[in-house]
Structure formats: C-alpha cells, structure tokens
Homo-oligomer: A and B are copies of this chain.
Amino acid sequence: MNSPSRAFDIQAIRADFPILERMLDPETPMIYLDGGATSQRPRQVLDAEVAFLTRDNAAVKRGAHRMASAATDAYEQARETVAAFVGAPSPDEVVFTKNATEALNLVAYSLGNGDPSTPPALRVGEGDEILVTEMEHHANLVPWQELARRTGATLRWIPMADDFTLDLSDLDALIGARTKVVAFTHQSNVLGTINPVDRLVEAARAVGALTVLDAAQSAPHMPFDVAALGVDFAVLSGHKMLGPTGIGVLWGRYEHLAAMPPFLTGGSMIEVVHLDHSTYAEPPARFEAGTPPISQAVGLAAACDYLTALGMETIAEHERALTDQAVRGLSEIDGVRIIGPSVGPHRAGAVSFDLAGRHPHDVGQVLDSLGIEVRVGHHCAWPLHRRFGLHGTTRASFSVHTTADEVEAFVAGVARTTDFFGGLS
C-alpha cells in the first residue's frame, strides 16, 4: 500500500527513526501508535544533541569563554528556531520549560504571585474566575484548580456536547466580567477534536480575559501560528514533537511576560541579588531559573527543522488520511464505539474507542501481543471519560512515520481482540 501523501516519502522518513527497526520479540515487529503519549526521535535529533555535547557543551549565559559563547549561541539559536516554528514575533517570547506541564504551571503560579504593582489583568485573586473545558488534559486542569484554591478564585468549565465537541451554547453565561483566564486545549489528546480557537479567543477578548492554549497535541501535527491564533499564551511539549524529553515551551506575548512576576527563582533569572531581596531579569531569562535544558533545546530545534522540512500541511494531510482509514476501519467492527467526532477538518489523529465495555487494559494487552503499541486508560483526561460514562479508552495516535499498512494491522488487531475475548465466552 502506498503512503497516502505523494510528496511524502514514507520509507525515507521511517529510515530516519532507528527505533522503528525494533522487534518486540523475535517474531513481532513494533507498530508504534502511541505518538500522542510520546513521539520517537529521528536520527537528526539524536545527532544534533550528540554533536552539541561533543563539541560545544558549556553553561549558557554565564561564561565569557569561547565554549560558553558557542553553547549560548546554540541555545539562543534554538530559541529562534522554535520562535519561527510557532510563529512568534520575537524569540524573546519563547521560554524553555521542562515540559508542557511546567509551562502551564508557570502561567498559573505567576498569575497568583503578583503584588499590587502587577497589572490587574495578570493577577488572579478572590472573586475572579478561571474558565477551562471538560476535555482538558490534567496538565491544563489541575494547575488551575490549585490556582483557584490558593487565591480564592472560582474555576468554571465549558461542558462537552454529546458529539464530542465543546458545548458552546452557554458560553456567554460562562465568560463574563469576572473571567480572568480562559485555558483550553487546541486539540484533545483523547478525542482528536480540534477546538474553535477563534470563537474562544473572541469571547475571552470581549471581557479582557487571557487565553492560554494547550498546544501539546496540535503543534506537532498541523501548521501552527500563535500570531494567527490570537491567543495570549501557548504551551508545547518537546517530547511530543520528535524532540527530547526534559524540554517544553511556553510562548507568551512579550507585553504580558514583561509584566509578570517570576515563578521559579534562582540563578540566571535575576537582575540584582541582595541577601534580603532581589530584582529580576527581563523575559525570557526571568522565567528560566537555573541551568536550562541546553542540549535538549538544540535537539528540539533539530526536531522543528525536521518537521518544517517535511511541511506541516503535508504532515497534517498524511495523518488525516490515516485517521480516516482508522475510523472507517474500526466502525466496521462489531462492538466498537469511537470516542471522538466524525472525520473531517476538525478531527485529528488520535483515535480512541471503547470495545463492548471490555476494559482497555485487556484490549491493549491483546494488541501489544501483536506488536501494536497503543495507549489505554483515561489518558490524563479523567473528567472527560467520566462525562461519557467511561473508565477508560484505547487510543491509537499517528505520527509522521505511521504507514497505512500499520493502520490496517491495527484495525485487524482490534477485530482479533474481539475474537479473543469473544472466543472464550
């Protein structure tokens, strides 16, 4: 079977990922359909990191020697690459964190850390409201619960409609003058649903609320441009976009970052330190306390370059075709209920399903025995599962290196799973 996208040489791409040669046991090649949890890394990313570490490794921003300059250049060059990747007007709007979760915590803590000199829009307190959605990953839910608890603010949420999209019918009642923050995911890690960013941004802007976009699942899989999206903050996860673990990205409008109090404090984020008080550097340094993930930034930049070279629109098309194939294939299997919207432009490559109430651990176990690595459970989106009366789902998610053959094997594997448990009953 051919790759669904012509301009896209899937075999050449696969050759870039050494791990795809792995056998799970002597008879079972690995079919990795868990890129939504963490992606695999092409050679180019591994090589970039090793090249840096064997040539230019040094502490950044703290030294005057040539090694320190080379390392600082590499690190700041990585920031520029990431800024271009997300469409940031300036690299100074890109803060490197340890993962997407820290990036969201950074915003949530900073909004609670202000004092009377902080602009009111950047300070959440008693009586204020924070709006999230019922489909959020725990990373974009729990930090806001905790901010509400610490400050006395109130957390509200946009509910789900039965068709696995957000129910925006009551949006006007949910967003109001008290709303300080609207935090929502660009793309659900469970449903594949792509949210209407423009509508949410418009509603938030109308009341002067900040928008925080969780782009951990979207940015690796489609053209992504913070300027066009119009949000105030966006977070990305390195390890979900062919890059290293240990690095995430917070993008924020410079005017906000410049007015926000720090979160983590320590070396490299200060201006002047006295024993009893300190002043803080300008962004992005203000938000990068301690030694940052240096080689990881270099690796992440290589991942951005890799994705850009393939073309984000091409990647999106490739994954859309695989998603169509998977959804169509699964729909023909008795007992399968797809937990996600029907295929179309607002649907991306995470395909979750329930198999006749069979526990997802059991489903995943059978698929694993066939070499098909999918994720099972609540996928860190427990409230979403509860909403649909589920304890968990089984999820396949697609990557640049996924082939139509692999999707076919996955669909066949789900059919055999039904047989396996059915056969014994």
Contact = CB atoms under 8 A, between A and B. Distances in A.
A19 B142 contact: no
Interface in A13-30: 18-19, 22, 24, 30
B145 A278 contact: yes
B58 A266 contact: no
A264 B278 CA distance: 23
Nearest to A273: B382
A139 interface: yes
B296 A245 contact: yes
Among A65, A113, A274, A382, residue most surrounded by chain B Cβ atoms (within 10 Å): A65
Contacts of A399: none
B65 A380 contact: no
Q: How many copies does the complex hold?
A: 2
A18 B295 CA distance: 16
A90 B335 CA distance: 46
Interface string A35-75: 00110110000100010011101110011111110000000
Contacts of A383: 273-275
Interface stretch (A316-324, A360-368, A414-422): A360-368
A141 interface: yes
Contacts of A278: 138, 141-142, 145
A364 B296 contact: no
Nearest to A50: B46
Given A50-B46, A99-B290, A264-B102, A63 B30 contact: no
A368 B134 CA distance: 56
Given A65-B368, A66-B373, A141-B273, A54 B102 contact: no
A143 B264 CA distance: 7
B59 A101 contact: no
Contacts of A63: 34, 37, 364, 373, 375-376
A244 interface: yes
Interface string A336-359: 000000000000000000000000
Contacts of A239: 291, 294
Contact of A291 (B68, B237, B296): B237
A364 B64 contact: yes
A40 B58 CA distance: 8
A62 B138 contact: no
B277 A145 contact: yes
A105 interface: yes
A171 interface: no
Interface string A178-191: 00000000000000
Given A53-B46, A65-B374, A101 B368 contact: no
7 A-B pairs with least C-beta separation: A101-B290, A246-B246, A139-B266, A246-B293, A37-B59, A98-B98, A101-B266
Interface of A: 18-19, 22, 24, 30, 32, 34, 37-38, 40-41, 46, 50, 53-55, 57-59, 62-68, 97-102, 104-105, 109, 113, 134, 137-143, 145-146, 150, 155, 157, 237, 239, 244-248, 262, 264-268, 270, 272-278, 289-296, 361, 364-365, 367-368, 373-377, 379-380, 382-383, 386
7 contacts: A19-B54, A24-B66, A40-B57, A67-B373, A239-B294, A244-B246, A244-B296
Given A65-B375, A140-B266, 14 more contacts: A18-B54, A34-B63, A34-B68, A41-B53, A46-B54, A50-B50, A142-B278, A143-B266, A145-B277, A245-B291, A245-B296, A248-B290, A267-B380, A274-B386
